[in-house]
Structure 1
Amino acid sequence: MSADRPGTAYGVDHEALESFIGKWRARWPEWSVAEVFVPPAQHPIALAWAALQQELTDAAWGGSDARPGEAKLAWWAEELIGWSRGMRRHPLGVVLQTRATSWPALAAALPALPASRERPRDPEESGSMLQPLAEAMAAIDAELFGSEGRAGVDHRAAQLVAACLQQARFQQPGDAHVPLSLLAGQADGGGRDRWARHLLAHWPTAGGARPRRLWAALARGRLERGDATRPVPTWRVLWRSWRAARN
């Protein structure tokens, strides 16, 4: 088992931990290329943090019934608060628990996720719905990865997190995330495409920690290809990742 696999680095239940890591890697196979631009010591942390974010967004947006996801997010809120008190139940906590102090702030921001299941009126409301969560996640980015030596959270970092979250919503079926203003008067059923084009036209400039910039580069690449679930070709991943790492 390689040194950057969390099960080896932290001596925990390999199967339980890597099942969550594996789910994220399966959705984002491009990371096997992009992660070479992350310092090796940060590989387990980046994987665990990415997997946690996927668990949260899938709980909030997956399925036709919101109630199971709301219950799961309530469990996660308790878990994250427990991490700040030295307790944990989830295997991802072995990697992440002691490496950040803003877990309670993330727990407090989680209600923004199920609230965002409702269709926003316009792009501005879509962004404002996710803003508390984006700020909490950007704070954790800064704690986990140092944001290239900068302390705290800057506005650009939170904007980039919000863009990643909005792209992640495209991985769910349906168009409930498409703002009403982009559907009004349209009969061609292309709301998802119009929303994707809008996000690309307003994609924020790079900011924050290197792993976040890399995740955002991959997310943007998929939107540009017109399919949020379709991996970006390897040669494009290499080019995009190199540019994101430099910025």
Structure 2
Amino acid sequence: MTTSSALDSFLDKWRTRWPEWSVAEPFVPLAQRNLVVAWFTLLQEFDDILNTGGDPMPADAKLAWWGEELRSWAGQRSRHPLGRLLEPLRAPWAELAQALPALVDARAAPLDPAQAMAGLQAYAAAVAAVEAVVFDTPARGDVAAPVLVQTLAQRLHEAGVAAVPRSLLDAGHGDAAQLWAQQLLAGWPARVAGPRPRRLYASLARSRLQARAQGRELKVTPVRTLLRTWWAGRG
């Protein structure tokens, strides 16, 4: 497989998981679109490592590899196909690498919502700092908060009850996963701070969490997605 086809394979894998992006993508400048998908593909790699099930050793080894890779990007050297698009950017890659071990600790069920938030706060801040460079947008407002909530929402989506704080499980008030979704949703406005690609991505992820919080199946239509992302993408 050539480097170009390997890169396309990674980008297509993310697009398959987020088919709604085809409706949101026109709100991103044409020259930036592959870069945006490359960045979100990298974050999906980290989400998969966070939400791995069974034996964690392969995921831990992969995380260690990514730490080394990101540090090499800081020195303008890359091995992974995603580096073709991302490594030339002078982003704080080493700082993101330093925050990655938090993903291992965050696999354990948190005692309560506050611990769930605290466990991934440094990681979310590192992601937001890189995004400010990747999307060439100065940070305004609390840009780490949307990243944090979206990471926890994605964890709930992929890991289910394993992601729910123990305090909600112990309370015994109905569906604990649904209750956790409701709590996350309460702190996640329809339009968040941060660069436009983050706002668009957050709107898609938030709609999935909203369905979970309401105990219903997600109904995706192009018109609904268009209206949602148009609103989220407004400056």
Distance 1:234 1:180 in 2: 37
Equivalent-residue separation in structure 2 for 1:41 and 1:231 (angstroms) = 31
Paired with 2:216 and 2:15, the residues of 1 have a C-alpha distance of 15
Q: Which residue among 207, 220, 223 is the counterpart of 1:232?
A: 220
Question: Is the counterpart of residue 65 in structure 1 residue 51 in structure 2?
Answer: no
Cα distance between partner residues in 2 of 1:60 and 1:231: 27
Question: Mapping of 1:61-210 within 5 angstroms?
Answer: 61-147=51-137, 150=138, 153-154=139-140, 156-186=142-172, 188=174, 190-204=175-189, 206-210=192-196
- Partner Cα distance (2:140, 2:107) in 1: 27
Distance (Å, rounded) in 2 between the aligned partners of 1:33 and 1:104: 33
Q: How far apart in 1 are the matches of 2:33 and 2:168?
A: 39
Query: Shift in Å at residue 116 of structure 1?
Result: 0.6
SS of equivalent to 2:158: coil
2: CA distance, partners of 1:228 / 1:43: 32
CA distance in 1, matches of 2:90, 2:76: 12
Instruction: Tell me the alpha carbon deviations over residues 7-44 of structure 1, each in whole angstroms, 9 at most, x when there is no partner.
Output: xxxxx722200111111111100000001111111101
- Alpha carbons 1:82, 1:88 under 8 Å: kept: yes
How far apart are 1:230 and its partner, in Å?
5.1
| Aligned partner (choices 13, 17, 23) of residue 33 of structure 1 | 23
Deviation per CA, 1:95-132: give whole Å up to 9, x if none: 00011321001000001111110111111111111111
Q: Which moved more, 1:232-241 or 1:35-44?
A: 232-241
Q: Residue 211 of structure 1: which of 185, 197, 202 is its match?
A: 197
Instruction: Give the 3 Å change call, closer, same or farther, for CA 168–229 of structure 1 in structure 2.
Output: farther
**Counterparts of 2:217 and 2:134, CA distance in 1:** 27
Cα separation, 2, equivalents of 1:245 and 1:218: 11
Q: Is the 8 A contact 1:169 1:177 kept in 2?
A: yes
How far apart are 1:196 and its partner, in Å?
A: 0.6
TM-score for both structures, normalised by structure 1: 0.88
Distance 2:166 2:43 in 1: 26
Q: Which residue of 1 aligns with 2:42?
A: 52
TM-score by length of 2: 0.92
Q: Is the 8 A contact 1:60 1:73 kept in 2?
A: no
Higher deviation after alignment, 162-171 or 45-54: 162-171
Percent of residue pairs bearing the same amino acid type: 44
Contact 1:171 1:229 in 2 (8 A): no
- CA shift at 1:155, angstroms? 5.0
RMSD across aligned positions (CA): 1.9
How far has the Cα of 1:233 moved from its partner?
A: 2.3
